[in-house]
């Protein structure tokens, strides 16, 4: 869902100072640019990124994988490790 009030972002960005500065610069949560929001967003579990960046990265990797017509052929060979091939689960 869309954040329409700054309080809506409090669960995603835990720094009150960061929220205050975003409010000064953007006025409304609907105006916040993607990059600053991703940088300020709290990390998810033991990852290095927050939920928005995680989603964007997953979509990008999926697009790269699906756009590679040789990916399926190579991933079924013994050339790559099981860990590498597990990325095809995206």
Average pLDDT along the chain: 83
Helix (H, G, I), strand (E, B) or coil at 40: helix
How far is Cα of residue 5 from the mean position of the Cα atoms in its chain? Answer: 21
Length of the chain: 90
Residue 71 has pLDDT above 70, yes or no: no
What token pair was written down for 53? 């960046």
Helix (H, G, I), strand (E, B) or coil at 67: helix
pTM of the full structure: 0.65
What percent of the chain has pLDDT above 90? 56
What is the maximum span of the chain, computed from C-alpha positions, in angstroms?
Answer: 54
Break the chain into its structural domains and give their ranges.
1-42, 43-90
Q: Is 38 in contact with 47 (CB distance < 8 Å)?
A: no
pLDDT for the residue numbered 86: 63
pLDDT in tens, 29-54: 999 999 999 999 999 888 899 999 99
pLDDT for the residue numbered 61: 87
Residue 89 has pLDDT above 70, yes or no: no
What value does the mean pLDDT take over residues 67-83? 61
């Amino acid at each position: 869902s869309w954040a329409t009030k700054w309080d809506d972002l409090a669960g995603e960005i835990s720094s009150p100072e960061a929220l205050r500065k975003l409010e000064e610069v953007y006025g409304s949560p609907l105006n916040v640019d993607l990059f600053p929001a991703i940088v300020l967003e709290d990390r998810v579990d033991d990852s290095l990124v927050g939920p928005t960046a995680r989603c964007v990265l997953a979509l990008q990797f999926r697009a790269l994988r699906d756009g590679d017509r040789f990916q399926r052929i190579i991933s079924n060979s013994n050339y790559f490790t099981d860990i590498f091939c597990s990325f095809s689960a995206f």
